[in-house]
Structure 1
Amino acid sequence: MSEFDPDAFEHDYRGTDPDEIQRSINNRLVYTIGKDPYTAVDHDWLNALSYVVRDRLIERWMETHRSYYRSGTKRIYYLSLEFLVGRSLNNALLNIGFRDSCEEALKRLGLDLEEILGMEHDAALGNGGLGRLAACILDSIATLDLPGTGYGIRYEYGMFRQALEENQQVELPESWLKAGNPWEFPRPEVVYKIHFGGRVMEYQDKKGRRHHDWIDAEEVLAMAYDTPIPGYHTETVNNLRLWSARASHDFDLACFNRGNYLKAVEEKAYSENLSKVLYPDDRASANQELRLRQQYFFVSASLQDILRRFLQQYESLRQIPEHITIQLNDTHPSIAIPELMRILLDKYKLEWQQAWKITQKTFNYTNHTLLPEALESWPVELMERLLPRHMQIIFEINRRFLLTVTHLYPNDMELLKRLSIIDEEGARRVRMANLAVIGSRRVNGVSQLHTDLLRQQTFADFHRLDPERIVNITNGITPRRWLNEANHNLSGLLRNVIGHDWVKDLSQLERLRAYANDSEFQQRFMLAKRANKARLADLTMLHLGSTIDPYTLFDVQVKRIHEYKRQLLNVLRVITLYNRICDGIAPDLVPRTILLGGKAAPGYLMAKLIIRLINDVAAVINNDPKSAPQLKMLFIPNYDVSTACDIIPAADLSQQISTAGMEASGTGNMKLALNGALTMGTLDGANIEIREQVGEENFFCFGLTADEIARKRQNGYDPRLHHEQDAELKRALDMIDQGYFSPTNPNRYKAILRSLIDDGDHFMVLADYRAYIQSDERANALYRDKAAWARAAILNTAAMGSFSCDRTVNDYARLVWGAVPIPHRKSRRIGRKSNHRGE
């Protein structure tokens, strides 16, 4: 530690050279953290540096929003129940361009930047792909100078922390806020009232018009917390506004005075549960109710905030679609459609047709789910109890819509049943996807196959009614996080060879094609990969006590654990490789390390059983001296954004093996290919477009197509035939069934065998097994040819330009939002007068 100098704390600087940053860090340590260098612990330095970086965002942030008001531009509002933003410090350092200066400043203080960065806790505000996509989209909106704001919930406990006990997943609380969050700004002055329950009173005005008042409802407060979202090498800093629940009354004083303290604070605790935890296990009806409350809570607060901002500038509500576009990320925020109708009808007294026209032109809906049974729905009884006015509005939306359909297709009752927002089969339910389609101007799929299947199957009837409504916008990933930040070794090599422009224009990676056959560049490319593998090996030893060999092929499947993603198929492949090694019939097998990671939803018992099977199989293989030199399998627990940034740059082979027609897009497939991993995958989701870009010869394709699977199901699929006729498959299944991997409980995996053989193998695991094994053999052969593999890996990275999230957001802006970039002039003046009350 350098000598303590009190004179260094005289001023707080805004500069970006190492001397000024060092002074700023010292100032923040003393005046914000309340420590001096002698008493500070590591986390104090992390917070001090974070505040210093945040300081350099604030003026850009303020000027960004002033420019939006000056321009009167159309605003983009992105509503998502998840934002998996990960760590913020390194991302901000790279985006505003002074990581090197901070590294030097910390060095002078005797500190290491990498160690400081590693202490930051992931913002655990999402489950997986949907939340990470939302974070990438916010990054690209800011980078492209588009006027956008994200809205979500500030969960106190995020996605659970996953641990393993006796090879089983255990869910532990993830209190990511326990050490504070220097990136957020509490806004106690931005508070909105949210209502639940109560009843609806109907009355007539003097002109005979019917009106409705929602009365006698319970009240919860939503308080805003703002997080700046900086674009890459631009002055734009946009906003992520998250809502935290507060009780409208702290406690019942009369109850307190009677000595019942717990009863006195009960209402407060119940109200604040709304933002307590991300996506509770919804098996219990009480948890289902909490999830619906969460959705309405953040939607209502967001719409009130959006309209408050709109009405600061404009007088006529008819102008809303000209100046506002709201994107619904999946169906979770779709209650926003009846909520906007309620506000326009009940608060501002608009006529129905006028309110509906405004609503329908304002919302757009991104679908992420193909399976009809997986589409979100809510019991009518629950909706009527929690949101009685909204249920009335939904009934009326449905009545008017079905009346229109009846005029177009009279006497087609089956069509009306399929299109209805209300599912009348059994206990009535509200189909949120139907509501989202009917109430939105545009609906988009997230890969070409996904969009085609939406048009042909999931929303085929809606597509027939309005062929222009459903559009394709293939997902993308931000190269800032997933290459520039996550893979220093490769990004440094790319900058040396093709410059820096690829970070903001990923199409520049095409220039790498010229180097694909260059033996020197191939060597440098694979040395970068080897360095990433060595780093991951060090981390697994440090955190898990497990040894992995960086000179083996790293074979990776990291994603949420789900039957359709087919981790089971991967396990069957691994058992087959193990058996071949033990039988001495795999002399040419490349030594490989199989890495898996992902969380199972707490209530998804089959997924949790699959995790246990993975670990049980790994325990046998890793401790068998016959297989150890050639094969190792490791499950990496608590897979999150930061863990992904460690694993993905090290991967050689990317397993994207979902059942064709079930994965909407996927973004892990893009991240892995961008970092030079070759894909082994089915023709599902964005795999199809990746294969088109990288070339068939650089992609290990296998398995049934979506059409073939549909025909197989229609004609009667019998998985027993595969079990009986394929000797290697039968052997692997019998080993699981007979307790080879669970000797203390041979019946442990009977449920898995039953699902695969007796219950019809819904996800076609057995049907694709042999093709998968053959694909693995092709990958093994190519990896033995080091030059050929290096060439294919380079071409994978070179071909990923179209999968930048910048392209995705440009497509949204052009095809859906009708929004244009607003460049900002550099301004460092604080406190300028403006005609608005702030964001």
Structure 2
Amino acid sequence: MLELTAEAFKEKITNKLKTDRGIEIGDASDKDIYYVIAAIVNEEIMPQWYDTQKKYEEKNNKQIFYLSMEFLVGNLLQSNLLNCGMLDVSNQALKELGLDPENIYAKEHDAALGNGGLGRLAACFLDSLASLNYAGHGYGIRYRYGLFEQRIINGNQVELPDYWLKNDYPWETKKEDEAVCIHFHGDVHMFKKNDGTLEFNYENTDKVMAIPYDIPIIGYENKVINTLRLWSAEAVYDEQETLATENNEFYHDLDHKHSIEQISGFLYPDDSNHEGKELRLKQQYFLVSSSIQHIIKNFKKNNHTSLRRLPEKVVIQINDTHPSLAIPELMRILMDEENFSWNAAWEVTTKVIAYTNHTTLSEALETWPKGMLEHLLPRIYMIIDEINERFCKGIWYDHEALRDTIPSLAIIADDQVHMARLAIVGSFSVNGVARIHTEILKKQEMKHFYNLFPDRFNNKTNGITHRRWLLQANPNLASLITDVIGPQWIKRPKQLISLLKYSKDSSLLEKFDQVKHENKKILANHIYERTGILVDDQSIFDVQIKRLHEYKRQLLNIFHIIYLYNELKVNPNQDITPRTFIFGAKAAPSYHLAKEVIKLINTVASIVNYDPDIRGKLKVIFLENYNVSLAEKIIPAADISEQISTASKEASGTGNMKLMMNGALTVGTLDGANIEINDLVGNQNMFIFGLTADEVMDYYQHGGFDATAIYNTDDRVKRILDQLNQGEFGSHDIEFKDIYYNILYHNDPYFVLKDFEPYIETHEIVERTYRDRLTWLNMSVTNIAHSGKFSSDRTIREYATDIWKVKQVWG
């Protein structure tokens, strides 16, 4: 922990303003102050960052390398100050200088390096690795524009480039001398050597330079600083090469340079056409090739021994299927550059790579057209083809009972390369991210693979870093908890369970209620500043914040809101507790139905929020451009956490954990980690409804569900769908017909109508419970007390013990 007084911190600020920016404190903008505080943090941590890496080299312990296409790290200034032990001093110094700390910290643009839970999980894991003294680092891509900046115009989502790197990003350090070269396309020549082995030469390739930018990942008050390395794509120019200026070659060269830079341009480029698909594939290979080249280079630098011992020093965890090409890439390097035989390379690869699966959705399991992969990465395709041949032959000869399953197990099938299958075959561990998710993988989606490799499958329920999502995001609640049970929970989050003995203490519950109300007032002010809409801070804040997807069922939520609105229009005097429904979500640019749901939410909001008949009892708020910083404002203020995915579809969820940790009560299906939350807190402390996973699976497999029958027998459902079909919630009568037809003519694929009635009934119970304040607060505190189980510290300890077999480097 760094020890600085507020006085010393103020002096550092004023001195750095003069030396770094040439201005006095009175002339400094909030952004100037932000940059000098970041510089102070960097000045303090740089020696520790260097010392951490030197200790890793000296001890030469096994290290974890986490490969992910997303790292949703959010705003780092406040987090870095917290982990360095300087946040309180910084806050005090800024206040004494007459500045608002929140305004200063808000000057940092969230790094646009992720989209949803997968990327936020990766960021939480890096935080826990450093805080628990594990040698673990991340590898990702330095997207210049990230996903997109969302704007809502006339209710529609509009995507704009997210220029997050427009201003200097103070946390990154460019390491140009550690750049590596990536090869695409080209020709592969095979030669037979004198000893009978084969040699492969890879020529005439398109070369791309991967330039690394390192970001420090600071452990909580332990002087451990790990690294997130992000790769940026740049064109390669030989020393003699010059830009041609005749015959339009100059412009051709600029186009070529631009196409290369696109590799690290946008997160998840639109893959609805061939060019977009190929760009995504390029991104994935760019990430794994640059990362594995660097890992092997470091191993050889620190270990004067054969790469056969790589599994003793290295674990590569691939986060979902996006980095699955790590398997053939490691094989390529070992065989083509290090002269390994196939069998020796395969033995090393399958002891180094571990795979985390994040989905049960068959449409989300990545595949690539065989021809595209063969054209873009010819040598990699040859290796995948050989892996597939050997794998399928192994089943045929060694597992006669499974011969019929080969078409569903083959890595290359129906002219597609199946990346999840590659990841399973080429790794030593396959983990799901919640207990039910892992069971579905073993018994349903990956049943035949589980029969082949039962010891390979395991569960690691996701977690969140409680330091960011409670200690940082909700400081008043964190302070109250510390006053009650002491500070031990900060480093040992399971200690939160000590709150249980106070869960019926009415005077303490009143204090928790005051904290929640203060947070609601802060959010209400933020909503007014961003939207101009006044919300009642005494109303129930009902929150659904997550990626917009049909299976997450924001549609069920908005149908409930329409139902309440219809009821109030008939009976404006109805006695209901005022409710503020808060949404935050981005839809993929090419996901038409998801964008229609966003439009519907905003259209309903434009009607409900301004209808005098309902007397302010309902408000609907859609906060645009949902990101980590916005989540940090919403979550501490939430009363209700909407976790209403179609059972069996949500792998885990982590928003459910963040909201629970801040005292929101879950309205949810028995899906993902909701089940494990329910196991801890019990049915009496959350609101469970709807179909179970087994019931959903049964409908998918055997039929028996008829959406039209519900439409014809439930007047509430019929009225809502008719309102959509007839244009009552739209500027013209075809506005939401796609939603209407998807529900009725595609038989409601995510069972919105089937769960509609139990959802309404559950919300009626929610309202009755909310009116009994002591009962509600008891439930809230009980949820907080049990939330320590869902810290990412617990998850990382399980990975370290069960999968990675690594120990803390020190401490």
Which category describes the TM-score, using the shorter chain as reference length?
over 0.9
1:154-173 alpha-carbon deviations (Å, 9 max, x no partner): 11101211111110001111
Structure-1 separation of matches of 2:772 and 2:613: 25
SS state at 2:612 partner? coil
Q: Closer, same or farther in 2 for the Cα pair 1:102/1:343, shift >3 Å?
A: same
Gaps of 5+ in 2: none
The residue that corresponds to 1:297 in the other structure is 286
CA offset at residue 259 of structure 1?
A: 6.9
CA offset at residue 409 of structure 1?
A: 2.9
Comparing 275-284 with 329-338, greater Cα deviation is found at 275-284
The residue that corresponds to 1:390 in the other structure is 380
Q: Give the aligned length.
A: 807
The residue that corresponds to 1:364 in the other structure is 354
Kindly report which structure 2 residues correspond to 1:442-481, keeping only aligned pairs within 5 A, or say none: 442-481=429-468
Matched, 1:380 2:367: no
Residue among 411, 419, 427 paired with 1:432: 419
Kindly report which structure 2 residues correspond to 1:476-555, keeping only aligned pairs within 5 A, or say none: 476-555=463-542
The residue that corresponds to 1:401 in the other structure is 391
Matched, 1:598 2:585: yes
Counterpart contact for 2:609–2:616, Cα < 8 Å: no
Structure-1 separation of matches of 2:211 and 2:470: 35
Aligned partner letter, 2:55: S
Matched, 1:200 2:182: no
Residue among 403, 416, 420 paired with 2:406: 416
Matched, 1:275 2:264: yes
The residue that corresponds to 2:94 in the other structure is 106
The residue that corresponds to 1:342 in the other structure is 332
CA offset at residue 728 of structure 1?
A: 1.2
CA offset at residue 22 of structure 1?
A: 2.7
CA offset at residue 124 of structure 1?
A: 1.1
CA offset at residue 609 of structure 1?
A: 0.5
Counterpart contact for 1:255–1:263, Cα < 8 Å: no
Structure-2 separation of matches of 1:585 and 1:696: 33
Matched, 1:84 2:72: yes
Structure-2 separation of matches of 1:524 and 1:812: 37
Residue among 750, 775, 797 paired with 2:762: 775
Residue among 746, 751, 754 paired with 1:764: 751
Residue among 588, 613, 627 paired with 2:600: 613
Kindly report which structure 2 residues correspond to 1:621-636, keeping only aligned pairs within 5 A, or say none: 621-636=608-623
Aligned partner letter, 1:98: M
Residue among 168, 172, 182 paired with 1:184: 172
Structure-1 separation of matches of 2:469 and 2:442: 32
Aligned partner letter, 1:467: P
Aligned partner letter, 2:602: N
CA offset at residue 106 of structure 1?
A: 2.7
Counterpart contact for 1:621–1:628, Cα < 8 Å: no
The residue that corresponds to 2:696 in the other structure is 709
Counterpart contact for 2:71–2:119, Cα < 8 Å: yes
Matched, 1:160 2:148: yes
CA offset at residue 741 of structure 1?
A: 1.0
Residue among 696, 699, 707 paired with 1:719: 707
CA offset at residue 108 of structure 1?
A: 4.3
Kindly report which structure 2 residues correspond to 1:179-258, keeping only aligned pairs within 5 A, or say none: 179-249=167-237, 253=242, 255-256=244-245
Aligned partner letter, 2:672: G
CA offset at residue 441 of structure 1?
A: 0.4
Structure-1 separation of matches of 2:219 and 2:523: 29
Residue among 156, 159, 162 paired with 1:174: 162
Structure-1 separation of matches of 2:660 and 2:394: 47
Q: Closer, same or farther in 2 for the Cα pair 1:375/1:254, shift >3 Å?
A: closer
The residue that corresponds to 1:141 in the other structure is 129
Counterpart contact for 1:361–1:440, Cα < 8 Å: yes
SS state at 1:799 partner? helix
Aligned partner letter, 1:44: D
Structure-2 separation of matches of 1:429 and 1:293: 17
SS state at 1:400 partner? helix
Aligned partner letter, 1:231: G
1:199-257 alpha-carbon deviations (Å, 9 max, x no partner): 11000222121111111101000011000001112111110000011110289635225
Structure-2 separation of matches of 1:504 and 1:423: 49
Structure-2 separation of matches of 1:664 and 1:460: 16
The residue that corresponds to 1:6 in the other structure is none
1:555-600 alpha-carbon deviations (Å, 9 max, x no partner): 1111111100001111111111111112228733211101111000
Aligned partner letter, 1:165: I
Structure-2 separation of matches of 1:183 and 1:523: 41
Structure-1 separation of matches of 2:792 and 2:571: 47
Structure-2 separation of matches of 1:405 and 1:183: 49
Aligned partner letter, 1:781: R
Aligned partner letter, 1:546: I
Structure-2 separation of matches of 1:586 and 1:655: 27
Residue among 639, 643, 657 paired with 1:652: 639
Matched, 1:560 2:547: yes
How many percent of aligned residue pairs carry the same amino acid? 45
Residue among 292, 303, 310 paired with 1:320: 310
Counterpart contact for 2:243–2:250, Cα < 8 Å: no
Structure-2 separation of matches of 1:580 and 1:18: 56
SS state at 2:178 partner? strand
Structure-2 separation of matches of 1:798 and 1:167: 39
TM-score normalised over the length of structure 1: 0.94
SS state at 1:224 partner? strand
SS state at 1:255 partner? coil
Comparing 246-255 with 712-721, greater Cα deviation is found at 246-255
Kindly report which structure 2 residues correspond to 1:749-760, keeping only aligned pairs within 5 A, or say none: 749-760=736-747
Q: Closer, same or farther in 2 for the Cα pair 1:304/1:569, shift >3 Å?
A: same
Aligned partner letter, 1:312: K
The residue that corresponds to 1:836 in the other structure is none
Residue among 306, 314, 320 paired with 2:295: 306
Aligned partner letter, 2:787: M
Aligned partner letter, 1:216: N
Residue among 692, 695, 714 paired with 2:682: 695
SS state at 2:113 partner? coil
Gaps of 5+ in 1: 1-13, 825-839
Comparing 308-317 with 804-813, greater Cα deviation is found at 308-317
Structure-2 separation of matches of 1:563 and 1:110: 47
CA offset at residue 34 of structure 1?
A: 4.4
Counterpart contact for 1:162–1:171, Cα < 8 Å: yes
Counterpart contact for 1:252–1:265, Cα < 8 Å: no
Counterpart contact for 1:682–1:702, Cα < 8 Å: yes
The residue that corresponds to 1:9 in the other structure is none
SS state at 1:680 partner? strand
Structure-1 separation of matches of 2:781 and 2:560: 27
The residue that corresponds to 1:329 in the other structure is 319
SS state at 1:214 partner? strand
CA offset at residue 21 of structure 1?
A: 2.3
1:127-158 alpha-carbon deviations (Å, 9 max, x no partner): 11100000000000001000011000011101
CA offset at residue 29 of structure 1?
A: 2.5
